[in-house]
Amino acid sequence: MTLVQTCYRYRPGLAARRPCPSRCMPFAPAVRSSGLLLINSSLVKVDQEGDRDDITVVRIPANDLAQEAGGNKAANIVMLGAYVELTKVVKFSTIKQTVEEAFANKRRFLPVNLKALEGGRRAAAGLIKGRSA
């Protein structure tokens, strides 16, 4: 098995990643203490948290949610929606407007991406609500 080395960093303390053999979290060491590690649970099956108890690990079924939105290529937008909901780094309305602007010349892809963004937000909001209950 080959480990996929792709790692997206949206800001220090956050790493999002693609498929990996089970039970490995190679990007966890790159996340700063009290940081956030988003895992696409549609692709990555991780049975254990590793030895990092100082970070927040969040599993979002990004590919499944993107497929529900109408396009499996929108998994990155699902993760973006989840990230914004979890961190409140910007207002959700701002990121929605940014996605609309980004797809201004590709209007046929806009509905799928807006649904994907909202799907990620709802998934993350459900996790937050589930923790506080």
CATH of the domain at 66: 3.40.920.10
The pLDDT assigned to 29 comes to: 81
Domain count, the chain: 1
The pLDDT assigned to 1 comes to: 24
Domain assignment present for residue 81? The answer is yes
36: β partners: 14, 56
Q: Residue 45 belongs to what domain range?
A: 7-132
Mean pLDDT in each 10-residue stretch from start to end of the chain (133 residues)? 34 48 62 88 71 85 96 94 96 97 95 98 85 41
The pLDDT assigned to 57 comes to: 86
Domain assignment present for residue 2? The answer is no
Domain assignment present for residue 64? The answer is yes
Q: Is the pTM of this model over 0.95?
A: no
Domain assignment present for residue 1? The answer is no
Domain assignment present for residue 33? The answer is yes
User: For residue 132, how many other CB atoms are within 10 A of its CB?
Assistant: 5
Domain assignment present for residue 80? The answer is yes
Compute φ and ψ for 70, nearest 5 degrees: 115, 5
The residues near 30 (Cβ < 8 Å, ≥ 6 apart) are: 7, 9, 15
